[in-house]
Amino acid sequence: MKTRAWGTQAADQQITSFEIDRREVGPLDVQIEILFSGICHSDIHQARGEWGNSKFPMVPGHEIVGRVTAVGAKVKKLVVGDLAGVGCMVDSCRTCAPCTHGDEQFCEKTPAFTYNSTEMDRKTPTFGGYSKQVVVTEHFALKIPAGLDLSGVAPLLCAGITTYSPLRQWNCKKGDRVGVVGLGGLGHMAVKLAAAMGAEVTMLSTSRSKEADATRLGATSFALTSERSTFKTLAGKFDLLIDTVSAAHDMNSYLSLLRPYGAMVVVGVPPKLELHPFSLIGGNRRLAGSSIGGIKETQEMLEFCAEKKIVADVEVIPAEKINVAYERMVKNDVRYRFVIDAATI
């Protein structure tokens, strides 16, 4: 079926409106009328060809929230009228070891990502959430709990799960001391989620202007990392660091902030990592990476956020402002996520 979308035809072109084809609803598919679609910084990297794997034409967007408008004959998970979401994946092989353990993001045959990818047939291109409609197999459609601002729910499908997953992996709990490095789209979610899990959260930022926001989001402390004295004052304090920064920064200095057996988990994408072995060996500290979660964990995250009344801080924009939003994001001029009102597509 035909549907309207916003995307780009080439890396050097802006985001514009055009028509795309969505498949008809199969027996195990759901059709979702998109209500809101978040803008992730990875959308910019992909649309501008900055990661070297871009496929055009491209319709970005993997933070999708909408309402089910049709279901296949064998669908059991959702019914017409339900609120549903789609995150970073739309399919996987579902038979390999990671898939059967709920880690579809690590599918041995590579998942079908929501955009800039193909379906599992490795032929049919996938198009993302900057569009009116999406059709997805029911396994990869998430149930959106009622009672939350849907515009703020959309970024949970990427920024939310990207920060929830490492907090769960490292058993964040009441009384833990958690430091969040960087207050942006990922960082603001990490602060909210860690605080909701009962942790004592410290915001670690290069900008004093973020202090009031950090407190509002749930941080109990703020530290300015542009001051070298901070690393002496906080040495050995934290059980866990969630590093959301994608710019170059000194990993060794941050590792020194961990207690023995503490962990620093990287969810940002800095250009390179430079480590001194003793930054890890001293204190048996761990440096880890974390991706998105699988479908089960993402659903768990949504239920947790509903229970704790957590959504992302967003600025809702019409589709015609996507290019302006991209430029503002590059300048870090958003607090903390742009979300497209799909009614304007």
Do 146 and 212 share a structural domain? Answer: no
222 & 150 share domain:
no
User: Per the domain annotation, does 298 fall within a domain?
Assistant: no
pLDDT, one tens digit per residue, over 141-196 is 999 999 999 999 999 999 999 999 999 999 999 999 999 999 999 999 999 999 99
Q: Are residue 254 and residue 229 in the same domain, yes or no?
A: yes
**Residue 138 shares a structural domain with residue 197:** no
281 in any annotated domain: yes
CB distance 293 to 101 below 8 Å: no
Residue-range definition of the domain harbouring residue 218: 160-289
Domain assignment present for 305: no
185 lies in the same domain as 61: no
Question: What pairs with residue 126 in β-bridges?
Answer: 117
For residues 143 and 176, membership in a common domain is answered with no
Instruction: Scan for tokens 């542009």, then name that residue.
Output: 226
Round to whole Å and give the CA distance between 248 and 270.
5
Domain count, the chain: 2
In sign, the C-alpha dihedral spanning 90, 243, 174, 214 is negative
Model confidence, pTM: 0.96
Asked if residue 276 and residue 129 are part of one domain, the reply reads no
> What is d(CA 62, CA 86) in angstroms, rounded to the nearest whole number?
7
Residue 327: partners with Cβ closer than 8 Å, 6 or more residues away:
none
In terms of Cα–Cα distance, which of 61, 133, 138, 134 is closest to 295? 138
Q: Within this chain, do residues 141 and 204 fall inside the same structural domain, yes or no? A: no
| 118 part of a folded domain | yes
Specify if 240 maps to a domain.
yes
74-122 residue pLDDT tens: 999 999 999 999 999 999 999 999 999 999 999 999 999 999 999 999 9
Same domain, 318 and 172: no
